[in-house]
Amino acid sequence: MVGAAGGLAAEPDGPGAREGLPSLVPLPVSVEERSGAEFALDADTGVRTEAGSAEARRVGEHLAEILRRSTGYPVPVSDASPTDTSGIQLLLADADPVVGEQGYQLDTSPDGVTIRAEHAAGLFSGVQTLRQLLPPEVESATVTDADWTVPGVSITDYPRFGHRSVMLDVARHFHPVEHVKHYIDQAARYKVNHLHLHLTDDQGWRIQIDSWPRLTTYGGSTQVGGGPGGYFTKDDYREIVEYAAERHITVVPEIDMPGHTNAALASYAELNCDGIAPPLRTDIEVGYSSLCVDLPLTYEFVADVIRELAELTPGPYIHIGGDEADATTDEDYALFMSRVIPIVEENGKQVMGWHEIANTDIPTDAVPQFWSTSTSHEGVRAAAERGAKVLMSPANKTYLDHKYDATTQLGLQWAGFVEVRDTYEWDPGTHVEGVSESSILGVESPLFTETIVTTDDMEYMAFPRLPSVAEVGWTQAEARDWDDFRLRLAGQAAHWEVLDLNFYRSPQIPWPDAEHPPGTCSAPAWSATEVYLGGDVVSHAGREWTAKWWTRGEQPGTTGEWGVWRDEGSC
Ligand code: NGO
């Protein structure tokens, strides 16, 4: 067995991807180069899937669609046959048992490529690897000319952690179904298998709840900065769940409570302890709202919301938030959780929550999500000792909403700057005192959206950090090495260019791009608070800048809106 990291020529300091095999991210468990086993796709190549398995067929169709789009070949999908094994085979038999629930084996020969797995999830992961083995043009949305040769390899691969997740906050800025699907596509490429949707927060409620309709019609009517907001109808939401499932991604919906609930409290006066509805909020303060813990109606509300949400949720988890409940006393918080957790369980779901829930008496199948910048937490340690599993998303390692460095115009920085190397060089299995590998469920990279409006913004913050955290979740600890990773990551850029992804050219990565070698893109020069005069373009110091977002607020001496404008730099 040749470890992929060891078997290939790597030049840590030179620009450009490493030579040899295409750069795979996340790094597989083992990659053996096999000369003479290259396979060239052509107009006759078909995909053959395990006979009788609808799931394998779906993975096959998914692959065929990608190949048809870029190669223009017909790529028929049919049942695998013992007598004709040419082409691309997706089989659910005879995989080495070491691949487990989610792993796969991928072998090439001059006649084809065979992916074997125990389950369709493994086939799907193998297909993502195959995409990276093919030339980057395979990602083209239109028919392209390329040498469609898959190098000769024998790969055995399986994940370190079964739960690899991304989170998208659709509450601070609403992100419509198309944005979410786009994000799902990018995450699936890196073997992420969960999408946590932060559906509610102070600034907006984004999921239709039939028994409490004003949550969305009123509570979803704005967002950070005062834009029109929006929400998912139940059909929209089902569409997301289904789209994700086709990509072997399970959706984990989050209703954040008892804090982060201003949108709900604004929508229904009767949910407030004093019976008075607060105004909708469009700023980014945290820690001021709380559901009314003593009010019986609070639990009727929660029961309705959880029931309707559970009906929309095929996955096992419902995330109940629980973070930053600064407007709730500790006693009230514990009381609230002791009443809400059973509601989730009665609906047949397991609780996930930000790590503060571990300050209360949570059941052992509840999952605290660690988001602190510190490396110890007594409640999380104790929960792990009692047998709970922990989801790891330390803010200073995994928060995709954070600035890369002082020049990043988007993003927050309360946890410091988060460069690519920060997201890579940490170990989920040893990060939190007293919480060992066996207590770790997996790893998540959250994208909060206080400053994230467009898919360009999402891409810029997620790339290249999302693939980096994805490798932390997938690749075995001893195989990870920064100097090797940065070369493999550089190798991904060619795929991102075909995909037209707006990725951040971190100076830590030796990008192979001759046109834009590291450091030659002009850094964004400034951001400033200016009076907003209307329209989308504002003149500043004689130049025009596109303003992508602004924050409504009070500014001494002005009565209008004002904004934070940014220069976006150029390449
Ligand atoms: C914190 C806070 C969120 C913010 C985010 C911004 C958690 C779990 N609660 O993370 O409300 O949006 O930081 O980085």
DSSP string, 323-388: ---TTS-HHHHHHHHHHHHHHHHHTT-EEEEEGGGGGS---TT-EEEE--SSS--HHHHHHHHTT-
The CATH code of the domain at 163-474 is 3.20.20.80
Query: CB of 1 within 8 A of CB of 98?
Result: no
Peptide bond into 76 cis (omega under 30): no
- Looking at residue 193, its amino acid is N
Q: What is the pLDDT of residue 117?
A: 98
pLDDT tens column, 469-487: 999 999 999 999 999 999 9
Query: Does the fold of domain 163-474 match that of domain 30-157?
Result: no
Distance between CA atoms of 13 and 106, rounded to whole angstroms? 31
CA 450 to ligand 1: nearest atom: 12
Q: What is the pLDDT of residue 517?
A: 52
Q: What is the pLDDT of residue 534?
A: 36
Q: Is residue 324 annotated as part of the catalytic site, yes or no?
A: yes
Per-domain residue ranges of the chain: 30-157, 163-474, 527-566
Identify the three-state secondary structure at position 264. Answer: helix
Any ligand 1 atom below 6 A from CB of 448: yes
Q: Which of 203, 262, 286 to mutate to test the pocket of ligand 1 (most atoms within 8 A of CB)?
A: 286
| Rounded average pLDDT over 8-31 | 64
| Percent of the chain clearing pLDDT 70 (strictly above) | 86
Query: CB of 457 within 8 A of CB of 548?
Result: yes
CATH architecture of 30-157: 2-Layer Sandwich (3.30)
Q: What is the pLDDT of residue 1?
A: 32
pLDDT tens column, 164-208: 999 999 999 999 999 999 999 999 999 999 999 999 999 999 999
Identify the three-state secondary structure at position 461. Answer: helix
Any ligand 1 atom below 6 A from CB of 444: no
Q: What is the pLDDT of residue 43?
A: 98
pLDDT band at residue 7 under the 50/70/90 scheme: very low
Cα–ligand 1 centroid distance for 511 (angstroms): 31
Distance between CA atoms of 412 and 358, rounded to whole angstroms? 26
Cα–ligand 1 centroid distance for 449 (angstroms): 9
Cβ atoms within 10 Å of 233's Cβ, excluding its own:
12
pLDDT band at residue 21 under the 50/70/90 scheme: confident
pLDDT tens column, 373-383: 999 999 999 99
pLDDT tens column, 490-545: 999 999 999 999 999 999 999 885 555 544 555 444 443 333 333 333 333 333 33
Q: What is the pLDDT of residue 569?
A: 53
pLDDT tens column, 279-300: 999 999 999 999 999 999 999 9
pTM assigned to the model: 0.89
* Greater pLDDT, 551 or 332: 332
Distance between CA atoms of 144 and 500, rounded to whole angstroms? 15
Q: What is the pLDDT of residue 104?
A: 98
Among protein residues, the one with the nearest Cα to ligand 1's atom 9 is 323
